[in-house]
Amino acid sequence: TQRILVEVTWDEAVTVAGSPQITVVNGNQSSAGYGNHVLTYTATGSTANRKRFEATSRGLGNTDVLTTPAAIGLNSGTISDTVVGGTTLAASLDISNVVQVHTVLS
């Protein structure tokens, strides 16, 4: 089993409340049947503008290819633009418009 970590970097600080999630799509090239992985926001290792989403103890095949979707799911949480609107202005959830997305397997 492995840990899957995705870091999303915005161009300015954002405030997270609750447990937003990212679903990482597993192409299942290994045919092991592990399926997609839901990663949940974690404050551990997150910074003002870089937020981490992780899942632990996940099964992956050696040839599986993981891809991130186009958006973050709020899962009853919020991600707000800290600089412009405090907690009243929603930050962009469109991952294709953020500065960086990194996926780390360990």
Number of helices (H), then strands (E), in the chain: 1, 8
pLDDT for position 40? 96
DSSP conformational letter for 91 = P
pLDDT at 95: 77
Is the separation of the CB atoms in 39 and 25 below 8 Å? no
Does 102 score more than 70 pLDDT? no
Tell me which DSSP letter residue 11 carries. S
Q: What is the pTM of this model?
A: 0.84
Q: 40-96, pLDDT tens digit by residue?
A: 999 999 999 999 999 988 888 888 888 877 789 999 999 998 887 666 778 888 776
Confidence check: pLDDT of 98 > 60? no
| pLDDT tens, position by position, 24-45 | 888 888 888 888 999 999 999 9
